[in-house]
Amino acid sequence: MLPGPTNVPQRVMRAMLKPIINHRGPEFHEMYPRLLEKVKKVLQTKSDVFVLTSSGTGAVEAALSNIVKPGDKVIVPVAGEFGSRLADSVEIYGGKALRIQVKPGDSPTAAQVEELLDREKDVLAVAVVYNETSTGTTVRELEKMGEIAKKYGALFIVDAISILGGDWLPVDEWNVDVCIAASQKCLAAPPGVSIISLSEDAWKAVKRGRPATLYFDLPRYKKYLEERKETPFTPALPLFFALDEALDMIFEYGLENWIRRQEATAKAFYSAFQAMGLKLFAKERARSNVVIAVYAPEGIEVGKFREHLRVKYSVVVAGGFGELKNVIFRVGNMGAVTAREVVTTVSSIESTLADLGAQVPLGEGVKAAWQYLKDL
Amino acid sequence: MLPGPTNVPQRVMRAMLKPIINHRGPEFHEMYPRLLEKVKKVLQTKSDVFVLTSSGTGAVEAALSNIVKPGDKVIVPVAGEFGSRLADSVEIYGGKALRIQVKPGDSPTAAQVEELLDREKDVLAVAVVYNETSTGTTVRELEKMGEIAKKYGALFIVDAISILGGDWLPVDEWNVDVCIAASQKCLAAPPGVSIISLSEDAWKAVKRGRPATLYFDLPRYKKYLEERKETPFTPALPLFFALDEALDMIFEYGLENWIRRQEATAKAFYSAFQAMGLKLFAKERARSNVVIAVYAPEGIEVGKFREHLRVKYSVVVAGGFGELKNVIFRVGNMGAVTAREVVTTVSSIESTLADLGAQVPLGEGVKAAWQYLKDL
């Protein structure tokens, strides 16, 4: 129950065993454009999309190394580790990151972004981490931020690595110019490939100069796709096959149903932890459906708690990130999480806390969770 | 029989099915350093090594974006497409690429490199593509080039993407400061992960300034490895497992035996094609053991030849690259190629040429190949 990589269903794992084909041959020419159509469908976009052989951070690098030119101003709300990385990346390519610092556990608002857009001139882009995995918070005003960015003529770049497929993100409808995502989170595929979309406005920004990268040179990806239906460099074929299968699985289940199930299991987790008397880390308005961050009860050491949970109950959860390492634990509610996973995770956490001597009302967590699980 | 991705043995494919583990947990902490020890063994180096979630071009980018700072001079022999890409990459990071143009089918000599080192001052590095896949040529004076680079105080960067595991490359003994390789060629693993090694001198060059990349920030990889036995970003776990299994397989067979088998099958291929009356593309002194490049006989269109071979005989070979597209075909002799693959490939090519009306002495190719295969 990690916040990524998440459990991968057997049918998706088995897809990796397909024979290694020629990535310059007819089978790939048929497969790759078909995969990209599925990616467009999950992003709800008509923009160009690409699948990259890299983890999600590679797709962030692809976006920024192509779009940001020296001196460009980019507004970056920072609500945790991943927002911080995004801002740092802007600066690697000579951009000026205008950070909006947000308290851990909260998420940035559209008003904060508008205020800064109003004050600064010539802002190239607003770049936002939709779901901050390090703190379990989600930007609940993403649609509004997109409108505001458009109003001010700024590009809207969304890092949706940990949330695509786990919450709502109609890319075109919400004015997202660049969307970045990865395979191993709510799409329930193995890690190692990432996704990027680029609107026409994004391409205009790219074309202002030569990309500061060869491996992530996006005009080259576009050229290879359009002229040959290929990637410019060798793709991670087994992971492409797995992503393809995972998307088929999601569409068979229905994308909306897939997201709604994660909404329901998120409610189940939150109410379970509250019923157990635990304190939630994220403010209510910022709570993520895909990463549930919870304060460890007083007197319980996070590392020991996680170790006990893993060894005795075979349930793996994450600790905090950086300064929060020994303060919170985080449960991933991503992708193929069903009532079964919620019930076993909640009951194992209850039991672990009891094992370690914490005051916890045994059974209350499962009882509270069940209210949201019974109709799944 | 492509020059990568190559056929992957079943035991290596099946390794991808291992459960997705926590890349921040104890199983990964045990697995990753163990994998890196195996990588050191195959490279014959004591230097730091890393496995990257990217194709080989990503590892090239990692090397250059960390090592090359604006204004640095880097000597790059260009014997084909991959040498050309390497030189272009140097310039992306503000370096000055000093190209040594080599005729297609030939490979650069140590004397050419020395001459340029002698003429230019303050050359940071010599960067060489060991095996030029686009033309089927290998640098036969690599060891000597390493000595010369050292003599002039230049770093020696070797792109061994298509050849590591297929020919000799004792990294430390040959004074290689940075070695770049990939999974899907002579190591017979699936595509999507790459390898990089860095000597102490290479680290000194890296530390002159901030890397022009986040995703390939090598000091960050070193820090995460030493402090946590982890990668900084999510690794492509199934491909890490597969590479681990492929290296086990190679060590069980014996690295030397693995290379010697590819030497023998290369001789078999070359003598077969000559016996069939075909003209080899590479000069004798430059011939690659891992990519066999052959002129198509007059009157035979390469695309049609490859298509016929694929459809009727289920054998896939590559065409030429760029301007050579319709001039040569290329056979990969990488990784798990045994007498069986040579015999079926040679006889299928003979038959295809006969099918297409070329004058070819049927049976002569297999007869010639057998001389080198009988003792395998």
Q: Which residues of A touch B243 (CB under 8 A)?
A: none
Residue from A133, A210, A234 whose CB has the most chain B CBs within 10 Å, to mutate: A234
Give residue A322's pLDDT: 87
> Quick count: other Cβ atoms within 10 Å of Cβ A278?
21
Give residue B322's pLDDT: 87
Give residue B121's pLDDT: 87
**Rounded to a whole number, what is the distance in Å from the CA of A246 to chain B's nearest CA?**
15
Break chain B down into helix, strand, coil percent, rounded to 5.
45, 15, 40
Mean pLDDT for chain B?
A: 96
Query: Measured between CB atoms, which of B14, B53, B92 is closest to A212?
Result: B92
Tell me how far CA of residue B123 lies from CA of B23, B114, B288, B338, B372, in angstroms. 40, 11, 28, 43, 43
**Rounded to a whole number, what is the distance in Å from the CA of B13 to chain A's nearest CA?**
6
**Rounded to a whole number, what is the distance in Å from the CA of A371 to chain B's nearest CA?**
30
In contact, A293 and A281? CB cutoff 8 Å: yes
pLDDT (tens digit, 0 to 9) for every residue of chain A, 376 residues total? 888 778 899 999 999 999 999 999 999 999 999 999 999 999 999 999 999 999 999 999 999 999 999 999 999 999 999 999 999 999 999 999 999 999 999 999 999 999 999 999 899 999 999 999 999 999 999 999 999 999 999 999 999 999 999 999 999 999 999 999 999 999 999 999 999 999 999 999 999 999 989 999 999 999 999 999 999 999 999 999 999 999 999 999 999 999 999 999 999 999 999 999 999 999 999 999 999 999 999 999 999 999 999 999 999 999 998 889 999 999 999 999 999 999 999 999 999 999 999 999 999 999 999 999 998 8
What domains can you pick out in chain A, each with its CATH number?
Answer: 10-253 (3.40.640.10), 255-374 (3.90.1150.10)
**Rounded to a whole number, what is the distance in Å from the CA of B173 to chain A's nearest CA?**
30
Cβ under 8 Å to B: A residues 262-301: none
Q: Which residues of A touch B58 (CB under 8 A)?
A: 53-54, 58, 215, 233
Whether chain B has a CB inside 8 Å of the CB on A8: the answer is yes
Give residue B6's pLDDT: 82
- Quick one: three-class SS letters along B105-141? CCCCCHHHHHHHHHHCCCEEEEEEECEECCCCEECCC
> Would the CB atoms of A233 and B23 count as touching at under 8 Å?
no
> Would the CB atoms of A192 and B192 count as touching at under 8 Å?
yes
Whether chain A has a CB inside 8 Å of the CB on B236: the answer is yes
CA B99 to centroid of chain Cα atoms: 20
Cβ under 8 Å to A: B residues 185-214: 190-193, 210, 212-214
Give residue B245's pLDDT: 98
pLDDT tens across B264-283, in order?
A: 999 999 999 999 999 999 99
Give residue A350's pLDDT: 96
The closest alpha carbon to A80, from A106, A110, A59, A58, belongs to A106
Calculate mean pLDDT across residues B169-190: 97
Q: Which residues of B touch A55 (CB under 8 A)?
A: 53, 215, 233-236
Residue ranges of alpha helices (H) inside A254-362 are 255-275, 302-313, 339-355
Q: Specify the pTM.
A: 0.95
Strands A291-295 and A318-319 come out as unpaired
Which amino acid is it at B311?
Answer: V
Assign B293 to helix, strand or coil: strand
Whether chain A has a CB inside 8 Å of the CB on B24: the answer is yes
Query: Measured between CB atoms, which of B25, B192, B212 is closest to A212?
Result: B212
Backbone region of residue B234 per phi and psi (left: phi > 0; alpha: psi in -120 to 50; beta: other values)? beta
Cα separation, A124 vs A71, whole angstroms: 10
Residue of B nearest to A14 (CA): B17
Give residue A84's pLDDT: 95
**What is the interface pTM, i.e. ipTM, of the complex?**
0.94
Banded pLDDT at B7 (limits 50, 70, 90):
confident
Cα separation, A228 vs B141, whole angstroms: 36
Per-residue exposure over A257-273, b if at least 16 CB sit within 10 Å of its own CB, e if not = ebbebbbbbbbbbbbbb
Residues A294, A300, A303, A309, Cα dihedral to 10°: -80
> Would the CB atoms of A25 and B233 count as touching at under 8 Å?
no
Q: Which residues of B touch A29 (CB under 8 A)?
A: none
pLDDT tens across B95-114, in order?
A: 999 999 999 999 999 999 99
